[in-house]
Amino acid sequence: MKIGIIGLPQSGKTTLCNALTGADQPVGKMLGGGRVAVTSATVSVPDERVDWLASLYKPAKTTHAQVTFLDIGGVQGAKSSFSGPLLNALAQTDAFLHVVRSFANDLVPHPLLSIDAARDVQALDDELLLNDLLVVERRLEKLGDERRKGAGRDKAEIEREHELFTRLLNMLNNGEALRTLALSAEEERTLSGFGLLTRKPLLVVLNTGDDAGPSDGKLPAGLAASHRVVALQCKLEMEIAQLAPEEAVLFLAEYGLQAPSLQRVIRMCYDLLGRQAFFTVGEDEVRAWTINKDASAPQASGAIHSDLEAGFIRAEVMAYADLHQHGSEAAVKTAGKWRLEGREYTVQDGDILQVRFSPPSKK
């Protein structure tokens, strides 16, 4: 899972990235002249369930799920098309964290000279939308050429794609992000190679100051209705993330924070992307795997290895909650909570799977 951290200059993107990853990248750098800078860091997803399973099975190896954060500098909010390098960086991501500055600091002036979170959200929304509009318009021009020439692809296929891109054009012309559009599986496949930026899920992170007030973590009603929003004291969170674990616990308690920003933001990203975790356990390894919420048992098996999906027969399944309650696999079986599930089973968050499969034949 790759999450892109974007925002206007001086919004606190690197500060948030440091808070999420525990890194110590220098903050406050300004990029000019259309330059693009991308810093990536991969972190383990905190999950108490993995830790408990490891304490039960005592495996040789414990592996948490992984998430990569990309700190992407170079967005200016100037209603201009993105450069090739910037588009490439944005296209790598599964979702965006849009960092919006919601505090004043005379030592670090806002590039637009005033603090206005609603304006800044709209500025970047407009820039993402403009780039999608250019992509869609170019595609419709090519589809129009295909229609006129009457050769090449099947006419019905061209018409279906033309109708789809016309729908996209109408939404974009109305200022609507494409992430709100419900698409069929076939339409999703059609759009997969176009890198449409407003199709990506987006979470607004309001970067509040150390003396944040009640209004600092809010957006006007109109924007709040169309955006997922979380307010974070990014500088404070960065400082906590760089402490030793025992010191961090004390600071969290002192500032009334229930959990570090990493845990809160990852939970929201999982929700935005419709992702969940399942587990495999044993003496060799306890491991968390990330899959879509609607993944079938064979698809979940494919996250482990493609051979498991291709040769899937059945999955032995128990819920983490049942194992935690009863304390052992034997007790789960005695309680009737151990199940055999087939190809149609939809894996649930926290399921523990053992896959039965037929190994591929060797030629």
Phi, psi of 216 (to 5 degrees): -70, -25
Identify the pLDDT of residue 36. Answer: 77
DSSP state of 218: -
Percent over 90 (pLDDT), the chain? 55
Query: pLDDT for 292-313, tens place per residue?
Result: 999 999 999 999 999 999 999 9
Assign a CATH topology to domain 294-357: Ubiquitin-like (UB roll) (3.10.20)
The CATH number that domain 2-46+65-127+200-272 falls under is 3.40.50.300
**CB-CB contact of 307 with 358 (8 Å):** no
**Residue bearing tokens 């403009």:** 130
Region of 247 (left: φ > 0; alpha: ψ -120 to 50; beta: rest) is: alpha
Distance between CA atoms of residues 199 and 167, nearest Å = 14
Q: For the chain, how long is the longest CA-to-CA vector? A: 71
Delimit the domains of the chain by residue range.
2-46+65-127+200-272, 138-195, 294-357
Distance between CA atoms of residues 132 and 81, nearest Å = 10
Reduce the DSSP state of residue 42 to 3 states and report it. strand
**Residue bearing tokens 């790759």:** 2
Q: Outline where the chain has alpha helix (H).
A: 13-21, 48-57, 84-91, 117-149, 155-173, 185-191, 221-226, 234-241, 245-254, 261-273, 297-304, 306-310, 320-326, 329-334
Distance between CA atoms of residues 359 and 357, nearest Å = 6
> Which helix (H) or strand (E) element contains residue 96?
strand 95-101
Identify the pLDDT of residue 113. Answer: 84
Identify the pLDDT of residue 45. Answer: 92
Q: Which residues contact 318 (CB under 8 A, 6 or more apart)?
A: 329, 332, 337, 338, 339, 351, 352
Query: pLDDT for 88-108, tens place per residue?
Result: 889 889 999 999 998 888 888
Identify the pLDDT of residue 29. Answer: 62
Identify the pLDDT of residue 81. Answer: 63
Identify the pLDDT of residue 34. Answer: 59
Distance between CA atoms of residues 167 and 191, nearest Å = 13
Write out the two tokens for 22.
């525990």
Say which amino acid occupies 93: T
> How many other C-beta atoms lie within 10 A of the C-beta of residue 211?
8
Identify the pLDDT of residue 261. Answer: 79
What distances in angstroms separate CA 177 from CA 124, 125, 129, one per listed residue? 12, 8, 7
Low-confidence residues in the chain, pLDDT < 70: 28-34, 76-81, 151, 211-217, 362-363
Identify the pLDDT of residue 171. Answer: 95
Distance between CA atoms of residues 330 and 333, nearest Å = 5
Q: Which burial class, exposed, middle or buried, applies to 251 when counting CB atoms under 10 A from its CB (0-12, 13-18, 19+)?
A: middle
Distance between CA atoms of residues 336 and 317, nearest Å = 11
For residue 356, the Cα-to-chain-centroid distance in whole angstroms is 31
